[in-house]
Amino acid sequence: MTTQLQVAVRKIFSVNPATGEVLRELECVGESEVRAVVARAQAAQQAWAAIGVRRRIAVLREFQRKLQKKKSEIALAITLEAGKPVAEALTTEVLVVLDAARFLIEHAYRLLRDEALPHGNLATKLKKGRILRDPYGVIGIISPWNYPFSIPATETLAALVAGNAVVLKPSEFTSLVGLELKSLLLEAGVPPDIFQVVVGEGATGAALIHAPIDKLVFTGSVGTGKRIAAAAAERLLPVVLELGGKDPMLVLDDADVDVASSAAVWGAFVNAGQTCLSVERCYVQRTLYEPFLKACVEKTKKLRVGGGIDRETDVGPMIHERQLQIVEAHVDDAVARGARVLAGGSRLSERGPNFYQPTVLADVTHEMRIMREETFGPVLPVTAFDSDDEAVRLANDSEFGLAACICTRDDVRGERLARSIQAGTVMINDVVSCFGISEAPHGGFKSSGVGRAHGRFGLEEMVRMKYLDTDLMPSMKKVWWYGYGATFTRQMEGLLDMQFARGWRARLRGALRGVGAIAGKKL
């Protein structure tokens, strides 16, 4: 008698965070189906690699064309599921992806082709060296909800153009956007088994790590990143980890207060503060502290909070109640320890389920959670500093190291400070926008991650590097092969001196001894 095991299929709900309305119910993909998806990807990948970079670039061009045509439709889908204003969906998502495609269309052929590797060592001059870049095979991508289109799409385009198949596990909060990406790619000519989406929660992501993928690109929180790194280590699965941030902004005493305050307000509240590169800590030189706070408060109070569909909205809802509770806990803790609330500071329940007022806090300290943990909400905590050294020390006093910003009119001073800051990116006089610079590597120091996305270095993450060495004198035995003895040792000393001794006389003497090795060695 066989026992039928009834496994209940888990459901997830795609919800509009502005209204709480359920957009769609979806079934989580289970472990065996994830394995089947990866097996299909494996079976299809070699043919995709075999068509060559130029044909894959043509597919990217088609994808770019389709995305440009459907820009408003895609932006709307992003707004419905992630809450951000349509304007932000267009700029921080659709535009970023169009430009990432542009970068790969222009540069992928050059960056992926075989690269000659000349040798400097005289002993290896008679060899031709080349770097080859092979696709990994199947790349698993696990992505978050905060940039549900631009994050998986930029990573996917790089993986695909390099000849990989991709299996994407989008965030359970933004599965529909992941499925929109799939439709666009398939319409552009990507074969169905080369880009597949497995929707589900963490368990589906965990199943993907345990399936026979060849590399994982994960973007999400530090906590999940650590769990993923541990699981990947069990089978030495290579991983890229793009994790959380607690980005500092330094406003130096020569900064333009109007410009710096506008940067801080946008940097803290774009996407309702739910950006890995958000301004999460703001340090202002004491002489500018009060005028800067005044300008930030004035600008923050003018922000229009509402549903992202409304074209006049500046700040949309947060993604869900749990994220809102973290923000409340951080603000409450800061206030209890002496921070002043200058704007906002509470929910906006009359707008809908997940709205929080853009909030400015003054006089924060590093004893407060708001300055140590990732808040990921619309809060701008500000404090004063007295010297450049103190500003750098405060900026670096963090577990995180994703990015940082320095506002100054003095480029030399800004660059000096930037070099001392422990972060994957430092922007002088701008915030957040580095994510949209397709050439710029994106990734963190410290707990903010491992590896890079975007640009040349993001593309390099999608290939295994292979060194191909061809000897140009195949009929000649090499001088370093067996035949050791006193003569050999002398000859080797000669060769070493010829290349590395100080002074031309010593080198010449070495050369004369070394030539003996090449000419006289027999085995």
| Burial degree of 383 (CB within 10 A; 0-12, 13-18, 19+) | buried
Does residue 198 interact with ligand NAD by CB under 6 A? no
Does residue 316 interact with ligand NAD by CB under 6 A? no
* Range 248-277, binding ligand NAD (CB under 6 A): 276
Q: Minimum distance from CB of 180 to ligand NAD (Å)?
A: 16
Does residue 247 interact with ligand NAD by CB under 6 A? no
Q: Distances in Å between the alpha carbon of 447 and those of 78, 444, 479?
A: 28, 7, 48
Beta bridge partners of 300: none
When the beta carbons of 277 and 288 are compared against ligand NAD, the nearer one is: 277
Beta bridge partners of 141: 168, 217
Q: What are phi and psi of 242, to 5 degrees?
A: -105, 105
Stretch near ligand NAD under the rule CB under 6 A, chosen from 12-20, 73-81, 217-225, 324-332: 217-225
Question: Annotated catalytic residue: which of 81, 88, 180, 242?
Answer: 242
Q: Where are the beta strands (DSSP E) in 252-291?
A: 279-285
Member of 220, 307, 377, 378 binding ligand NAD (CB under 6 A): 220
Number of chain residues interacting with ligand NAD (CB under 6 A): 31
Cα 174 from Cα 144, distance rounded (Å): 8
Question: Annotated catalytic residue: which of 28, 276, 282, 407?
Answer: 276
Stretch near ligand NAD under the rule CB under 6 A, chosen from 78-86, 140-148, 285-293, 300-308: 140-148
Member of 243, 315, 370, 517 binding ligand NAD (CB under 6 A): 243
Does residue 330 interact with ligand NAD by CB under 6 A? no
Catalytic site includes residue 434: no
Does residue 441 interact with ligand NAD by CB under 6 A? no
Catalytic site includes residue 242: yes
Q: 445: which 2 tokens?
A: 């120091």
Does residue 28 interact with ligand NAD by CB under 6 A? no
Cα 66 from Cα 69, distance rounded (Å): 5
Q: Where are the beta strands (DSSP E) in 16-116?
A: 22-27, 115-116
When the beta carbons of 66 and 320 are compared against ligand NAD, the nearer one is: 320
When the beta carbons of 292 and 400 are compared against ligand NAD, the nearer one is: 400
Q: 139: which 2 tokens?
A: 């790349």
Does residue 401 interact with ligand NAD by CB under 6 A? no
Cα 200 from Cα 291, distance rounded (Å): 48
CA dihedral sign of residues 318, 320, 321, 323: negative
Q: Where are the beta strands (DSSP E) in 255-339?
A: 279-285
Catalytic residues: 242, 276
Chain positions contacting ligand NAD, by CB under 6 A: 142-147, 151, 169, 171-172, 201-202, 205-206, 209, 219-221, 224, 227-228, 242-245, 276, 374, 376, 402, 444, 449
